[in-house]
């Protein structure tokens, strides 16, 4: 009887241990954003230095490097003021919508509305023209296949595509401006491509969109 009880206890412990371990793993991850939240991130299009902090709705996005995009943070829907290094801009954030705040080289702020994406079978490309040039399009690096049609300055275009590994380039009628190394575009994910005028030398940057729920 004692052996039977010990065996039963051993089996019970072996069943419980994975659950305890799983609970410990869950504690390592931040909670998901609540339903109906709004999302915002900051892109530093100023090549001169890091943005120490951007503040909105009592939350802070810190240490945004030049030519880089922060993760999104979430807030309840509503009206807010975004403050970055002495500059402020008002915005109305709707539920389940995503916004990109661009910090220009002048220090001015520009808000762009992003596409909400929920297609697990495709990847989404979002292309941002953050230069003063009109008619900037996104194509394959060889210029043969158009991906996002020509955009005006400070605007964004989107396209859903199949998963693929590809190099892309920003083009005007005058030719190529800049291109990326090969990027592995995965299904169900959003990839942002930013063309930025880095002191007269355009660059095309790419970032996989993600949400930081720890802020």
pLDDT at 1 over 80: no
Least confident interval from 8-22, 33-47, 49-63: 8-22
CB atoms within 10 A of CB 207: 17
pLDDT of residue 31: 55
pLDDT of residue 25: 31
pLDDT of residue 12: 41
CB atoms within 10 A of CB 78: 12
pLDDT at 23 over 90: no
pTM of the model: 0.84
Average pLDDT over residues 151-167: 97
CB 40 within 8 A of CB 71: no
pLDDT of residue 13: 41
pLDDT of residue 103: 96
Average pLDDT over residues 1-15: 45
pLDDT at 18 over 60: no
pLDDT tier at 33 (50, 70, 90 boundaries)? confident
pLDDT tier at 21 (50, 70, 90 boundaries)? very low
pLDDT at 16 over 80: no
Helices and strands counted in the chain (H then E): 1, 19
Average pLDDT over residues 190-198: 95
How far from 120 is each of 3, 15, 80, 189, CA to CA, in Å? 52, 34, 31, 8
Distance (Å, whole) CA 55 – CA 98 = 17
pLDDT of residue 209: 96
pLDDT of residue 4: 53
Sign of CA dihedral 20, 24, 26, 27: positive
Backbone angles phi, psi at 17, to 5 degrees: -60, -45
Q: Of how many residues is the chain composed?
A: 215
Of 43, 55, 48, 40, residue with least CA distance to 106: 48
Q: Delineate the domains of the chain, giving CATH numbers in brackets.
A: 34-114 (2.60.40), 119-215 (2.60.40.2890)
Mean pLDDT (the chain, rounded): 88
pLDDT at 11 over 70: no
Average pLDDT over residues 153-173: 97
pLDDT of residue 30: 41
pLDDT of residue 107: 87
């Amino acid at each position: 009887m004692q052996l039977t009880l010990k065996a039963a206890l051993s089996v019970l412990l072996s069943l419980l241990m994975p659950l305890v371990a799983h609970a410990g793993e869950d504690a390592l991850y931040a909670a998901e954003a609540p339903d109906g939240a709004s999302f915002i991130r900051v892109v530093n299009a100023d090549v001169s230095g890091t943005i120490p902090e951007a503040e909105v709705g009592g939350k802070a996005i810190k240490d945004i490097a030049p030519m880089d995009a922060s993760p999104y943070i979430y807030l309840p829907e509503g009206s807010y003021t975004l403050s970055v290094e002495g500059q402020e801009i008002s915005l109305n954030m709707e539920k389940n919508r995503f916004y990109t705040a661009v910090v220009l080289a002048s220090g001015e702020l520009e808000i762009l509305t992003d596409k909400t994406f929920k297609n697990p079978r495709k990847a989404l490309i979002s292309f941002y023209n953050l230069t003063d040039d009109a008619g900037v399009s996104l194509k394959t690096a060889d210029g043969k296949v158009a991906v996002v049609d020509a955009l005006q300055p400070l605007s964004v275009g989107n396209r859903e595509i199949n998963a693929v590994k590809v190099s892309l380039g920003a083009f005007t009628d005058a030719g190529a401006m800049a291109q990326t190394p090969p990027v592995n575009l995965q299904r169900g994910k959003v990839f942002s491509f930013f063309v930025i005028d880095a002191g007269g030398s355009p660059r095309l940057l790419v970032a996989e969109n993600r949400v930081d729920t720890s802020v």
